[in-house]
Amino acid sequence: MAKVAVMGSGNGSQAMAADLTLKGHEVSLYETEEFAGGVNARYVFENKRIRLEGRAGDGTAEIHCVTSDLAEAVKGAEVIFLPLPAFAQEYYAKALADVVEEGQIIVLTPGNLGSLIFKKIFREKGVTADITFVETATLNYDARILDPGHVYVYDRNYEIKCGVLPASRSQQVYKILEKYYQEFIPCEDVLACGLHSLNPCLHIPGCVMNAGRIERSKGEFYLYEEGITPTVANVMEVLDAERGAIVHKLGYELMTVAMELAEGREPRTIWEEVNGCMTLEFIKGPTSLKNRYFTEDIPYGLVAWSDLGKQIGVATPLIDAFIEIGSIIIEQKPRETGRTMEKLGIKGMSIEEIKAYLGHEA
């Protein structure tokens, strides 16, 4: 049995806390005082119990510790998991910088290059503890809280791409993470992992090109079943090709969206892979233009790819176009609020300098 901390009390956090507890680990679940009073979080705080159901197994987990004291939550934890949205990562980086302990591993599921945010903030705050950062390309669980204290896992994600910072520690860190999850697939580093977070390719064309349908649907919209048509899929192919050009320029091995959807088969086109796919067909939403498919995937996904492309000399005209159109839809300035190279701490670096910063041994 190992001790771990799980940040947050949302869908993914409750699923993770329950699953790891039922696997025999000692879990401390942390939520800020601001959100601890919500109906779903309050039940878990009062009862320290989460019922897990679905593809992650069935059972009631008695959570070891549920707290709004961050120092208490992370004390003695081997791993600190953050199954949280990208917009929450900066807050947690600043908060955890004050309480982390020597040798701990911080895992962002997913990361969206948030590991670089953590590294930059920890340096700025003068953290002396030796901390390893890990990020994944997607969540471990597709989960929803059905009732207070009751979380349902619709699907488990396997073969999840994962990167380690510094990259030189990858082998030893993966051995530790195997205690908790067997599905992590090593990437060359966290940047390679972040470039394989495929949600912007999967979400943005279908969402932006169906913005009117989403507004009028009153919640009755199915992105993959009705929003991804052959034409939209063709746009996705071009967007994915621009991402692929960045991946190739950096010298990483590319997995295309079609390859990801094929799950080991010989990939067809994106349209052929999406059309009739049973795991995508019944996914409902987004229900509004304020959904994370817009507000997260544009500033934290597309902006990072665009800014990185500019820095290393790769043109991204379609990505740039979606950022501009998307900025009107979400009523934000994503190039100001989003994940730029300056915020990631690698602005102005050459490819060789970036690789050194990521912790590759010379």
What residues act catalytically?
Answer: 203, 297
Cα–Cα distance between 62 and 17 in angstroms, integer? 10
Contact 190, 133 (CB under 8 A): yes
Of the candidates 319, 324, 317, the residue with the CA atom closest to the CA atom of residue 305: 319
Alpha helices in 105-229, H assignment, sequence order: 114-124, 170-177, 190-194, 199-208, 211-216
Cα–Cα distance between 333 and 240 in angstroms, integer? 23
Burial class (CB in 10 A: 0-12, 13-18, 19+), 360: middle
Give phi and psi for 108, each to the nearest 5.
-100, 120
Token pair for residue 8?
Answer: 């947050």
Contact 160, 185 (CB under 8 A): yes
